[in-house]
Chains A and B, each alone.
Chain A
Amino acid sequence: MKKSFTKATAFDNQFLRKALIMTKIYILILFCSIYTVKASDTYAQNVRVNLELNNVSLNKVIKAIKEQTEFEFAYDANLDQLILNKVSINAKNEKIDNVLANVLKGTNINFRVIDRIILLSSNVIKETSGIQNGMLLQPQNLTGTVTDAQTREPLIGVTLIVEGTTQGAVTDVNGKFTLKQPSSNATLKVSFMGYLTQIINITGQSRIDIRLNPDVKNLDEVVIVGYGTVKKSDLTGSVTSISNDKFAQQNVSRIDQALQGRATGVQVTNVGGAPGGEVRIRIRGANSALGSNDPLYVVDGFVGADFTLVNPNDIESLQVLKDAASTAIYGSRGSNGVIIVTTKKGKKGSVQFDYQGQIGVSNVIGKFNLLNAADFAQVVNEKNAAIGLGAAFTPANIAGFKEKGGTDWQNEVYQTAITNQHQLTISGGTEKTTFLVSGNYLKQDGIIKNSGFDRYMLRSNLNTQLNDKFSFRFNLTGTSLVNSNNQIQSGTGNPLVQALAWAPTTPIYDANGNYTLNDPVGSLKTNPLALIFDRDLRVVRSSANIVGGLRYEFIKGLALDIQYAVDYRTQQTKTFNGNYATNFSPNASIASLQQVTLQGTNSLSFNRIINEVHSINAVAVFETQQYTANSFNGNSAGLKFPELKYDNLGQGTTFTVGSDFSKWTLMSFLGRVNYAFREKYLLSVSIRRDGSSKFQSNNKYSTFPAGSIGWNLTKEDFIKNLDVFSNLKLRASWGWTGSQAIQPYATQSTYSSIIMAFNNNNLTSGTRLGNPGNPDLKWETTEQKDIGAEIGLLKGRLTGEFDYFIKETSDLLLNRPLPSYAGGGTYASNIGKIENKGWELSIGGTPLNSKNFKWKSDFNISNVNNKVVSLGNIADRIFTGSNVGAAFSTQSEFVYQPGKPLGSYWGLKYLGTWKPNEAAEAAKFGMVSGDARYEDLDHNHVINTSDYQIIGSGIPKTTAGWNNTLTFKNLTFNIFFQGVFGVDKLDYTRAAALIAMGDNRQATLVDIKDRYIPGVNETSNIPAFSKTNQTKAQSTMFMENGNFVRLKNLSLAYNIPLPALGNSASLRISLNATNLLTFTKYKGLDPEASSVGNGTDLNQSIDYGAYPNSKTYTLGINITF
C-alpha cells in the first residue's frame, strides 16, 4: 500500500489537501484515495472529541464530529439508510479512532481515517489484503483498470457507476475493478477527485482500460493571492498562475524567462542582452511617468523582493495579480501589478536529490554590415571632396587597404560565450518537519568580450508542525551576484557604438603595441578595445532574505499568523578606467550600498462554510515595513599604479568620498472578505490604508478600496445540463491602487553635492540647491476596472480566459521642467492623468492526446493602449529625455502630450532626399538636390525646432506568446514563440554609423554606398554628401518598425527512468536553443534590446549601442533520485 502512495506525490500538495477538506464528498468511495495519506495521522492523533449523545441517528453523530473538528465524512450512497440507525456515545476528550470504534460497534459499517477525512464503508469489504472488488459483490463480468492518463499510475478509489442503476465499483490498490456486466446499452460513469469525469459505453465489453485526465483547471485548484489563498473557482479577480512545470522544459536562469510569453498581460522585454542584463516587466502597461512601473514582487510573503535574487529552479508557482481586485490589497504599491512567488517546500518521505547541470554556448544574433577599409577610405575621400575638404587618404593608402585589409572592429568586440549552471536540491521530511535546501551556481560569459555574470544562491526552506495548533516556517535565501562589464552603457562610452564609429583604416594597436589612442578619421572617442579591456566595471551584490512565520489556529477556520522578514542587501560597484580609456588620467572607485528592509506582518484569517451554502473567507492584516539604505563611495584619480585597479585606492593622487543615508517606512492596515453563495455567486471586498513617511501631514495616509463580483455559471443547473462547459465564469472588478513613484525626501528641498576644482592639485566638494521639494506631494492613484470571462470546453481540453480593463491614473506625478533661470531641474507635482486600456486573451488546449503522443498548446495575446490624458494645463506638452543621443540632438527625444502615449517620440518627419526636379524648392531652404528633406510644418523654409512633431511611440501595444509542448513517450519537445507589435524604435546606432554625427565623423555602414550621388544615383533616400546637407538623427529616417516575432525557445528533452535508484528516479537530458530565429523589419541588431534600462518607460525603445540578445544553445542534464 505504502508504495503506491509514495508514487503519487505529484498530487500530494497543499492545494489539493485543502481542497479536499473544504469540499464535501458525497461520491461513492470505498477506500482511501491516494492523496490524503500524508498529513493524516498528525491530526487524527492530536485532535480530541467530546460527545455525549444518546439514541440519536448516526447522521447526527457525524454532524457533531464535524462541528468540533475539521473532519469530513465520505460514505457510499448505499449507507444512506444505515446512517439513520440509532446509536449512543459518551466520549470525553477521546481520540477519533476510539470514538468511531465505539459508535460503529455493532453496525455493519467500517471506518478509516485518512488525514481529515473519515471514510465509512460497508462491513462486507475486508481491508486486509486490499480490495478485490466493489462493495456490492457483482458477478465478475466486466473488469479493467483505471490509470492516470499522463503518468500511467494506477488510480485507487476511483468510482465507477453504471448509469441509471445502483451498480458500481471502486478501484483497488492496483487500479483494478470488477463489475457485473450490465444489460444492454449501458454506460459507465467514471469519476475521481481531481480528474475529469468520463462517461464510457460498456455495452458488450468484458474488459476495459480507462485513462483519466487530470482536471487541472476546473477543480478546486487553490490560487495564492495577496495575504491568503482562494479556490480558483471562487476567484473574482484577474490572476494568472504559472506553475513550475510550465517552464521546466526550458533551462531558465531567471524569473523573467519563466514569465516571458507565458503570462497573459505581462510584457517581458530583455532590454539588455547581457548576461544578468536588465529586463523590463510590465503588467497591463505603464501607469507612472516618473516612478517605477515594475511590478511588486512578493516572495514567500516578503513584499518588495528583488526578483533577480530568486532562483527560478526553487519556484513552486508564480501568480500574477493584474486587476485592482487582486492588487488593491497591496495598496500604495499595487498599481503596477503584483507577482507572488512561492518557493518549493520539502515533502515528507525519503530524502530526494535533484541535480541539474547546464552548459551553453552563445553568439550575437546579428552584426551590422560595415565597409571594409578600402571602401571606407574611398567614401571618406568622396565626402571630403563633396564638402570642400582635402583627401584624407592617398591612392597609395587605399591600394594598401585593398591589399592588406583593415580592422573589423565588430569582430574584435564580440566573442562566443560559454554558460555553466549547476543546481543541487535536497529535500525531504518527517511527519512533522519538511525541509528543502538548494544550491545554485551560474557562470555566464557575455558575447561582448570581458563581460559576464556569476551567481551563487543558497536556499533553505523549513516547515514544521509544532503541534496541532502551531506551525512554524523559516525560509532563508542567500545570494551573491557579480556583474562584470555588462551594465548598459548607452552612447559613446559603449564599445558597440565605438566599434561602429572607429574607422576600419585605423589599427587596433599603435607602433608600440599599445591601444591606438585616437582615431584620426572616424570616432572622436575611445578605442573600443580600450573600452573593453582597459576598463572594469564590476558590481558585486550579496543578499540574505530571511522570512520566519508562526501560525496559530484557535479553532477550526480561525488562525493568527505572525511573520517577520529581514531583507539584507549589499552592493559594491567597483570601477576602473585605465590609461587608454581615459587618455592617461587613470581612475578607480568603489561605491558601497547597504540596504536593510524589515517587515512585520500580523494577519488574522477566518475561513468557514456556513450551512453548506455560505462560504466566507476573511483576513485582517497589520503590516509595517522599514527600509534603510547607507551608501559610501570613494574615488581615486591619477592612479600611480593603474594595474592595481580599484583594489588599492590609496595609491592615487586626488580623492573624493561621499556617503548618503535614506530611509522610508510604511504602515498598513488591510482587510478582505470573500463571500460565495452556493459557489455560484461570488463577492470580494478589500481595503487597505497605508501610512507613509515619504509625505507630509495631510498626505501621509491613503486608502485603497476594491471590490469584485463573480458568477460561476458552471454551478448553475441550466449550464450543467448543457454538458458543454467544464468551466464558465463571469467576473467584474473595480479598485484603487497606488504606485511607488515617489522617492523619499521628494517633499524636501535638499542641497546636492558637487565637486569643483580650484587648482590642479585638489578637488573641493561643495553644495548647491537641488530640485525644489514640493510639500504637497501624494501618491498617484490608479483606478482600475476589469471584466473577465473564463471558459472551459471539451471536458477541459480547451480553455479560454478573456479580460478587458481600463486603468486610469490620476494625480499623475510629473517632473515639471523648470527653466534654467529658476535654477533648472524639475519640480515634482501631482498634475497629470494617464490611461491604459486593453484586453487579454489566453487560450489553452490539448489538440492531441493519445497514449503515446500528446500536444499541449497555450496561446496568449494582450493589448494595451497607453494615453496621456492630461498634463494639468501646465503646458501643451512636456519634454523629457534620456539624453541617450546627447551628441545627436539638443532636443528631447521624448515628449508627453495629451492624447498620445507616454513618452512619444519627438522629431522631424523625413521626406527623403530632394530630387533633381525639386531643386528650385530645395533652394528655398538653402539646399540642393540630394540633401535631406524634412517636413516644414510652418512653411517658413527653415527647418528648426518649430518643425518637430510626434513621430512615433516606443511603448509596445501588443504582445503575444505561443507555447507548445509535444510529448512522445519519454521525449518532450517544446517550441515557444514570442511576439511584440505596435512599437517604434529610434535607431541611433544605425544613425551614428550611417550619417556620422556627434562623435562619429564618418559613415561606416555599407549602406552609405547607396546614397544619393548626383548624376549617378538620384533615387536614393540616403542623403548625398554636400556642404548644405544637414541630416538629423532625430527624425523618421531612423524611426523603425520594432515589431518582431521570435522563436524564443526550442527544446528537446528525453526522460530516462532509473529504476535502479528508486521508483521516482529519473534522468533527463535536454537540448535547448534560445532566440534561434527573429522575424523583424528592424534594421538594428536586436528589436528587443534598448539603451535605456528598465527604470523608465518613456525612453524604452531607443537603441544606441544596446547590448543585443544572443543566440544560445544549451545542453542540460537533470538527475532526480
Chain B
Amino acid sequence: MKKLIIFLFFSTLLVGTGCQRFLQEDLRGKVLGDAALSTQAGLESALTGTYKGLGNTWATGFLHATSIAATMGGDDVTTLPGGNKAELKEFDTFTVTAGNGRTGNLYSGCYKTIQSANNIINNYKTTVGVAATINIIAGEAYFLRALSYYWLVRLYGSIPLLTSAEFSLDLLNIKRTEPTKIYALIESDLLLAEQMLPNTKRDVGRPNIGSAKALLADVYLTEGGWPMKDQSKYALAATKAKEVIDNHSTYGFQLLSTFAAVFVNDPTLNGTAEDVFVIGANKANGTTLDANYGWSAMPGDIGGWDDFFSEINFFKDFPAGARKDKTFAVTYTKSNGTVLTWQQLVTGHPYYQKFWIKQDDPGAQNYSSSLPFPMMRYAHVLTIYAEAMARSGGPDALAYTCINSIRTRAGLTSLSGLSPADFAAAVVQERAWEFAGERTRWFDLVRLEMVEVANSHRDPAENAIPNPITKANYTFPLPLSEVLANPNLK
C-alpha cells in the first residue's frame, strides 16, 4: 500500500520536471540555416538542387513538352488543332494567356534554379573545402543562373530580377526589370563561369568552360537583335564562338561525321560529343526521365501523343538529303503492320523522326527515356560564329568552313562568295533546318523580327492565327500566379 502511494507521487513529480527542455523543438535530420552550405558536400548538394528546377519532369523545366510549346510560334513546329493540346496551340496561334500552364512550367523552373544559384553564389566564399572544387561549384551556379535568366528574358522580356535567395515579404512588391539589366547580369555571370569552370565536364549533365563560352556567344548574338539591337555584340559573339571552335578538342566538342549519329538517340550512350550542354535524364526516377523523345513526337496513329510535328510548308521547303531523311519519318507503321505516309496520318502532317528513341527492346518506343536533353550543340556554335561574323566583320574563311561543314553533313552543296547579308540570311535558314524542332527557330525569328514573315507562309491546313501578329506576341504574359501574388508586376 505505502509502496503504491510512493510510486504514485513519484511518478506525478517525474513528468512535471524539465518543462523548458521538454518543449524544445528537435531538429534532428533537418538541413537548414548556415550549416547547409558551410561544407563542400553541402554546397555540392545545393548545386544538385540548383539543377532540379531545369529538370523536374512534368513539373518544371525542360524535360517534357513545355519548351517545345514555348517555341511553337516558329514555323518549324505545330500541334493538334483541337483536343487536348489547347495550351500548345495557344503558342502556335499567338493567343497565349497568363493562365497557360506551359509557360508556368518553364518560368517557375528557371526561377527555382535562380534561387538556388543565388544561394550558392552568395555563400560559397565561406564554404570550407577544396578551393578548386568549390570554385567549380560556384562556376556551375553562375552558368545555371545565366542560362535561366537567358530563357526568361527571351520568353517574357521584362522580368523580376533577383540576386538573393533570402525570403522576405518585401519581395512581394518588387517591379519588373528591363532586359538590358537582365542581359548585363547574364553576361557577367557567364564571364565568371568561364573563369571558374573546368575544361572537362564533371558529368554529362554539367557545363565546362566551352559550355559557358558557347552560351555567352549565343547571348551576344541575341543581344545584337530584337529587342536590344546592340550591333556591337555581334563581334563579341564571333570572338566568343571562335574561342570555343579553337579549343573544341580541349572541351571535348566535335561535329559528328553524320547527322544521323547526332540523333541516334541511344539511351545507353549518355549523349554525344556534339553536345555543348545537356540536361541530364534518367528514367529510373519519375522526375528525372526525359519525356521529350518518343511519343511526344509521334503520331497517334502509331501510339504517339501528337504533341508537336512539322508544319507542312516547312517540310516541303526542307532541302532533301541525309539530314532530311533523319529529321522526318517518311513512313509510319501501325501496330497491325499497316504502313502509312504522312499524308495518310490522321493529322496529315510529317513528324520529327529525329526525336524518336532508338528501338532496341519492345518498351523503348514510349514517352520516357534516359536520353540527355540537349540545350545546345556544337553545330550551334559553328552557326553562331558564321552569322556573327557576317553581321560584324563579314564572313571569313572560318565562317564558310563552319557553315559548309554543316551543309556537307546534311548532304547539301557548299556555300561560297555571298555578300555578308546573304551569308547571314543563309546561315539563319541553315539553322532553321539543322535545328528543326530544337527550340532554336523561334528565338531566331524573334531576334531578327521575322516572326510575322515566317508565319505568313503557312499551309491553309495549319492552325489559323486569329489576329495579326505584333511585337506584343514576341514575348508571353507573366504566369497568372505571379501577377496575383504581386500586382506590381501587371
- Contact B116 A768, beta carbon cutoff 8 Å: yes
Q: Which residues between 864 and 918 of chain A lie within 8 Å of chain B, taking CB atoms? A: 875, 879, 887, 890-891
Cα A162 to Cα B424 with chains together (Å): 121
A733 at the interface (CB under 8 A from B): no
A residues 740-764 in Cβ contact with B at 8 Å: 744-745, 747-751, 753-764
- The answer to whether the Cβ of A999 comes within 8 Å of any Cβ in the partner chain is yes
Q: Could you tell me if A745 and B25 are in contact, using CB atoms closer than 8 angstroms?
A: yes
Known: A622-B16, A890-B100. A822 touches B172 (CB 8 A): yes
Which one of A763, A823, A997 has the highest number of Cβ atoms from chain B below 10 Å of its Cβ? A823
Contact A693-B24, Cβ < 8 Å, known A587-B284, A759-B282: yes
**In the complex the two chains form, is B288's CB within 8 Å of A757's CB?**
yes
**Given known contacts A520-B334, A754-B49, A945-B97, A387 and B81 CB-to-CB distance under 8 angstroms:** yes
Specify which of B281, B284, B362 lies most central, judged by the most chain A CB atoms within 10 Å of its CB. Answer: B284
Main secondary structure of the interface of B (DSSP, over half): loop
| Residue in contact with A999 in the complex, picked from B16, B84, B101, B203, CB distance below 8 Å | B84
Question: Contacts of B280 on A, CB cut-off 8 Å?
Answer: 756-760
Which residues of A sit under 8 angstroms from B287, Cβ to Cβ? 754-755
The contact string, 1 if C-beta is below 8 Å from chain B, for chain A 541-565, is: 0000000001010000000101000
Query: How far, in angstroms, from A692 to B23 measured CA to CA in the complex?
Result: 6
| Interface presence of A573 (CB below 8 A) | no
Asked if B99 and A520 sit within 8 Å, CB to CB, the answer is no
Q: With a CB–CB cut-off of 8 A, which chain A residues contact B302?
A: 520
Are B36 and A751 in contact, CB atoms less than 8 angstroms apart? yes
* Residues of chain B within 8 A of A745, CB atoms compared: 25, 27, 30
CB distance from A946 to the nearest CB of B (A): 9
Contact with A along B306-331 (1 / 0, CB 8 A): 00000000000000000000000000
Neighbouring A residues of B26 by C-beta, 8 Å: 661, 663, 693
Minimum CB distance partner of A554 in chain B = B5
Contact indicator A823/B45 (Cβ below 8 Å): no
Asked whether B15 lies within 8 Å of A945 as measured between CB atoms, the reply is no
Q: Say if the beta carbon of A46 comes within 8 Å of chain B.
A: no
Minimum CB–CB distance for B267 against chain A, Å = 6
In the complex, the answer to whether A751 meets B52 with C-beta atoms within 8 Å is no
Quick one: closest B residue to A628, CB to CB? B26
Residues of the A chain whose Cβ atoms lie less than 8 Å from the Cβ of B33: 749
Supposing A560-B8, A584-B366, A757-B55 touch, asked if A820 and B285 sit within 8 A by C-beta, the answer is no
A661 to B31 alpha-carbon distance, docked (Å): 12
Q: Is the CB of A748 within 8 A of B32?
A: yes
A470–B4 CA distance with the chains assembled, in angstroms: 9
> Is B19 in contact with A552, judged by CB distance below 8 angstroms?
no
Q: How large is the interface on A (under 10, 10 to 19, 20 to 34, 35 or more residues)?
A: 35 or more
The interface stretch among A105-113, A204-212, A652-660, A832-840 is A652-660
Q: Does B246 contact A (CB under 8 A)?
A: no
Given contacts A820-B112, A823-B111, contact A760 B52 (CB under 8 A): no
Instruction: Please provide the chain A residues from 644 to 678 with a CB less than 8 Å away from any CB of chain B in the complex.
Output: 653-654, 656, 659-665, 667
Point out the residue from A583, A587, A744 that lies within 8 Å of B366, measured CB to CB: A583
A758:B206 contact, CB within 8 angstroms: yes
Segment with Cβ contacts to B, from A268-276, A388-396, A718-726 = A388-396
Judged by a CB distance under 8 angstroms, whether A513 is at the interface is: no
B248 interface residue per 8 A CB criterion: no
B211 at the interface (CB under 8 A from A): no
A653 touches B25 (CB 8 A): no
Contacting A766 at CB < 8 Å: which of B27, B28, B51, B281? B51
B293 interface residue, CB < 8 Å from A? no
Whether A388 pairs with B81 at a CB distance below 8 angstroms is yes
Number of B residues with CB within 8 Å of any CB on chain A: 112
A92 located at the interface, meaning its Cβ lies under 8 Å from any Cβ of chain B in the complex = no
A540 within 8 A of B: no
* Cα distance, A822 to B165, chains bound together (Å): 8
Contact partners of B368 in chain A: CB under 8 A: 582-583, 585
Residues from chain B with a CB closer than 8 A to the CB of A875 are 484-485
Residue of B28, B29, B335, B484 near A520 (CB, 8 A) is B335
Contact with A763, one of B28, B86, B288 (Cβ below 8 angstroms) = B288
Q: A998: which of B84, B346, B366, B489 is its contact (CB, 8 Å)?
A: B84
Q: Does B479 contact A (CB under 8 A)?
A: yes
| B470 within 8 Å of A (CB atoms) | no
**Complex: A392 Cα to B489 Cα, angstroms:** 46
Chain A residues positioned under 8 Å from B282 (CB to CB) = 654, 757, 759-763
Contact indicator B270/A759 (Cβ below 8 Å):
yes
Complex interface: chain B residues within 8 A of A392 (CB): 301, 346
Instruction: Please tell me which one of the listed residues B167, B295, B489 contacts residue A518 in the complex, with CB atoms under 8 A apart.
Output: B295
Which residues from 985 to 1028 on chain A have a C-beta closer than 8 Å to any C-beta of chain B?
Answer: 996-1001, 1025-1027
Q: Return the CB mask of B192-233 against A: 1 if under 8 Å, else 0.
A: 000000000001111000000000000000000000000000
**Cross-chain contact A827 with B335 (CB below 8 angstroms):** no
Q: Specify which chain B residues have a CB less than 8 angstroms from the CB of A470 in the assembled complex.
A: 1, 4
A767/B46 contact (C-beta < 8 A), A389-B348, A693-B24 known: yes
Partner pick for A637 among B23, B24, B87, B284, CB 8 A cutoff: B284
Q: Which of A602, A622, A692, A879 counts the most chain B CB atoms within 10 A?
A: A602
Residue A944 at the chain B interface, CB threshold 8 Å: yes
Question: Are B372 and A821 touching (Cβ within 8 A)?
Answer: no
Taking a contact as CB atoms closer than 8 A, the residue among A638, A1001, A1025 that contacts B84 in the complex is: A1001
Among A665, A693, A756, contact of B49 (Cβ-Cβ < 8 Å): A756
Q: Contact between B45 and A766 (Cβ–Cβ < 8 Å)?
A: yes
CB pair B25–A520 under 8 Å, yes or no, is no
Determine whether the beta carbon of B205 is less than 8 Å from that of A758.
Answer: yes
B29 and A660 within 8 A (CB): yes
Do B22 and A659 touch (CB < 8 A)? no
Does A228 sit within 8 A of B, measured CB to CB? no
How close is B37's CB to chain A, nearest CB, in angstroms? 9
CA distance A998 to B49 in the complex (A): 30
**A389 contacts B81, CB within 8 Å?**
yes
Contacts of B86 in A (CB 8 A): 997, 1030
A763, A926, A996, A1027: the one contacting B81 at CB < 8 Å is A1027
B162 engages A520 (CB within 8 Å): no
Inter-subunit contact A945/B49 (CB<8 Å): no
- Complex contact A552–B5 (CB within 8 A): yes
CB distance from A599 to the nearest CB of B (A): 10
Query: Within 8 Å CB of B486, what residues of A?
Result: 819
Residue A847 CB within 8 A of the other chain? no
Q: Say yes or no: A748-B27 contact (C-beta < 8 A), given A585-B283, A760-B281.
A: yes
Given A691-B19, A751-B36, A945-B97, verify A661-B28 contact (CB < 8 Å). yes
With both chains docked as a complex, state the minimum distance between the C-beta of A23 and any C-beta of chain B, in angstroms.
Answer: 30
A390, B348: Cβ atoms closer than 8 Å: yes
In the complex, A766 Cα to B289 Cα: how many Å? 17
- Collect the chain B residues with CB atoms within 8 Å of residue A667's CB: 19, 22-23
Chain A CB count within 10 A is highest, among B1, B270, B480, for B480
Complex interface residues of chain B between 258 and 303 (CB less than 8 A to chain A): 267-268, 270, 280-285, 287-289, 295, 300-303
* Residue among B32, B50, B87, B305 with max Cβ neighbours from chain A (10 Å): B32
- Check B84–A996 contact: CB distance below 8 A: yes
Binding site for B on A (CB under 8 A): 384, 387-392, 466-467, 469-470, 510, 517-521, 524, 550, 552, 560, 562, 579, 582-585, 587, 600, 602, 622, 624, 626, 635, 637-638, 653-654, 656, 659-665, 667, 691-694, 696, 700, 744-745, 747-751, 753-769, 772, 817-824, 827, 875, 879, 887, 890-891, 926, 944-945, 996-1001, 1025-1027, 1029-1030
24 CB contacts below 8 A, A to B, read A388-B461, A467-B1, A560-B12, A582-B368, A622-B12, A624-B15, A663-B28, A691-B19, A751-B30, A754-B48, A754-B52, A754-B56, A757-B285, A758-B206, A759-B205, A763-B288, A766-B47, A818-B167, A821-B160, A821-B482, A824-B111, A891-B99, A1027-B81, A1029-B82
Q: Which 6 A-B pairs have the closest CB atoms?
A: A584-B363, A766-B48, A890-B101, A768-B49, A637-B284, A757-B282
A389-B348, A819-B160, A823-B167 given; name 11 further pairs at CB < 8 Å.
A660-B29, A663-B28, A692-B23, A748-B25, A758-B51, A763-B288, A765-B48, A767-B36, A768-B50, A817-B484, A944-B99
